[in-house]
Structure 1
Amino acid sequence: MANIHPTAIVDPKAQLDADVTVGPYTLIGPHVKVGAGTTIAGHVVLEGHTSIGRDNRIFQFNSIGAANQDKKYKGEPTELVIGDRNTIREFCTLQVGTVQDKAVTRIGNDNWIMAYCHVAHDCIVGSNVTMANNSTLAGHIEIGDWVTIGGLVGIHQFVKVGAHVMVGFATAVSQDVPPFMLVDGNPMAVRGFNAVGLKRRDFSAARIAAVKQMHKLLYREGRTLEDAKAAIAALAQSEPEAAADAAMMGAFLAAATRGIAR
């Protein structure tokens, strides 16, 4: 049996691995699934059609899997899916999706979600993402892997943030942010590329040089976006070690829907 505090209320239909720990005064609903090694502190509410993977740490006073805040939501059985090894600190709100989108809010693996963060309906959050205190994701947002979101950041609905992006403190993000870029401010501006983050992730000198070149093509040479896209595609051919990085940039630019941060 899972290690459940006697004051916790766990619906008999909930599916908790035998290695799960549940703290005092926590409430867990009938459609919740929790994987092995996950610890749930006291005063947490887990509800909705919520699936949580292995070895997550969920701190006290979180609301996870509640009905979303979309006025069109009529109680449809939409989902929240959380992967493995995530840390979710105090007072976070993570909500289920809507039938107007994919009907699921999805959070990957190894994320570090600090206190008072909000992940709204239909968001897709990758893996190894850091969300600092009070950062807020509106609905339908896509966050790539290895993104760092500073404290008090607000991201507009439907925005896409590419992998390895750094978003500075208190930035208002209203346009898509291409991979590798460093943005901050209100209004938001691209300040450079995330060189420190790439070095910490052991990017080779050749790959970092290619990212620097992509930043230059997009932001420093006065090119049109279409011209920059063509030059980045050519870079994938001329720099084989960075071909995957250039291809990721090209795919992101092709899929951008709100215009990219310029």
Structure 2
Amino acid sequence: MNQPLAYVHPGAKIARNVVIDPFTTIHNNVEIGEGTWIGSNVTIMEGARIGKNCNIFPGAVISAPPQDLKYQGEDTIVEIGDNTTIRECVTINRGTTDRMKTVIGKNCLIMAYCHIAHDCIVGDNCIFSNNTNLAGHISVGDFVVLAGMVAVHQFCSIGSHSFVTGGSLVRKDVPPFTKAAREPLSYVGINSVGLRRRGFSTEKIREIQDIYRILYQKNYNTSQALGIIEAEMEATNERDEIIQFIKDSSRGVMKGYSGIY
């Protein structure tokens, strides 16, 4: 990397084979791993920790201070995992004293104009389509797909392998392995297509479906449904992940679709 039309602060730690295009600005206290490409007109501010073989497209702003009036300049960071692609004009803000960091996992695709606010933790292999917006303090599991123009309320959690349809407003937690759609956001089935693509067996998919039938289609309240699932369903990693997610939910999980507008 020897680009005279880019500004790289002498305190930044840039691996030797990083490519930085013209008119990009990289501030102090930034680390960028091997094989990463930084497009033109990108701004990478203090506290960015970018992994290997990432691609960051023009106009992105990484590790800007949080848009939070409580922020008092504390030393926080943004972590971006290896092989992640950040498309045009994405904004990712660094953390506050809540978590001290914002994290994007490995092998993610964050499409153009997405915003990921302070203290969000995003897992590996996630896809966020264009104009998706995450408020602060959100947790997203692995292999989550958020379609275009999804807006997620602060402090929500979205479970692994879930899918949220385009234009959705996420105000409640979305349990793992589910599809979320309609308004208000509701359970409309499990993410069977995504699970098959990732190698889940027919038997495993059927097991997950059976769990969610008890939760959403048998007219039990949540406590009753969890009790039945724990008593009657064989203990598996997927069953336990679903149960723990619902027990840990602070905002409450999305409801089943009633068909009533």
TM value normalised by structure 2: 0.95
Question: 1:65 aligns to what SS in structure 2?
Answer: strand
Match of 1:133 in 2: 130
How big is each residue's C-alpha offset from its partner over 1:71-92, in whole Å with a ceiling of 9 and x where there is no partner?
Answer: 1111111111111100110000
Aligned residue among 225, 233, 243 for 1:228: 225
Moved over 4 A (4+): none
User: In the aligned structure 2, how far is the partner of 1:246 from the partner of 1:156?
Assistant: 26
Mapped to 2, the partners of 1:54 and 1:229 lie a distance apart of 42
Q: How far did 1:235 drift?
A: 5.2
Q: In structure 1, what is the Cα distance between the partners aligned to 2:18 and 2:233?
A: 46
Q: Which residue of 1 aligns with 2:186?
A: 189
1:166·1:181 contact (CA, 8 Å) conserved in 2?
A: yes
1:165/1:178 contact within 8 Å kept: yes
Q: Does 1:77 align with 2:79?
A: no
Q: Is the 8 A contact 1:20 1:39 kept in 2?
A: yes
Q: Report the equivalent of 1:215.
A: 212
1:59 is matched by which residue type in structure 2? Answer: F
- Structure-2 residue corresponding to 1:254: 247
Shift of 1:159: 0.1
- Identity percentage over the alignment? 39
Deviation track 1:106-135 (CA, whole Å, cap 9, x = no partner) reads 111000100000000000000110000000
CA deviation profile, 1:166-200 (whole Å, cap 9, x unmatched)? 00010000000110110112321111110100010
Aligned to 1:144: 141
Of 94, 113, 116, which residue of structure 2 is paired with 1:116?
113
The alpha-carbon deviation at position 102 of structure 1 amounts to 1.3
Residues paired across the two proteins, number: 255
Contact 1:236 1:244 (8 Å CA) reproduced:
no
1-structure distance, mates of 2:2, 2:75: 26
Partner of 2:45: 47
* Cα separation, partners in 2 of 1:105 and 1:235, compared to 1, 3 Å: farther
Pairwise CA distance, 1:7: 0.3
- 2-structure distance, mates of 1:207, 1:37: 38
DSSP-derived class of the 2:245 partner: helix
Give the gaps of 5 or more residues in structure 2.
Answer: 256-261
**RMSD between aligned alpha carbons?**
1.0
1:12–1:191 CA distance, 2 compared to 1 (3 A):
same
Aligned AA for 1:251? Q
Query: 1:229 & 1:66 partners in 2: Cα distance?
Result: 42
| CA distance in 2: counterparts of 1:144 and 1:151, whole angstroms | 18
CA–CA separation in structure 1 for the residues paired with 2:187 and 2:180? 4
TM superposition shift of 1:236: 5.0
Aligned to 2:258: none
SS of the residue corresponding to residue 179 of structure 1 reads coil
Matched AA of 1:254: K
Distance between the aligned counterparts of 2:70 and 2:191, measured in 1?
38
SS at 2:194's partner residue? Answer: helix
TM-score (ref. length: structure 1): 0.95
8 A Cα contact 1:5 1:24, kept in partner: yes
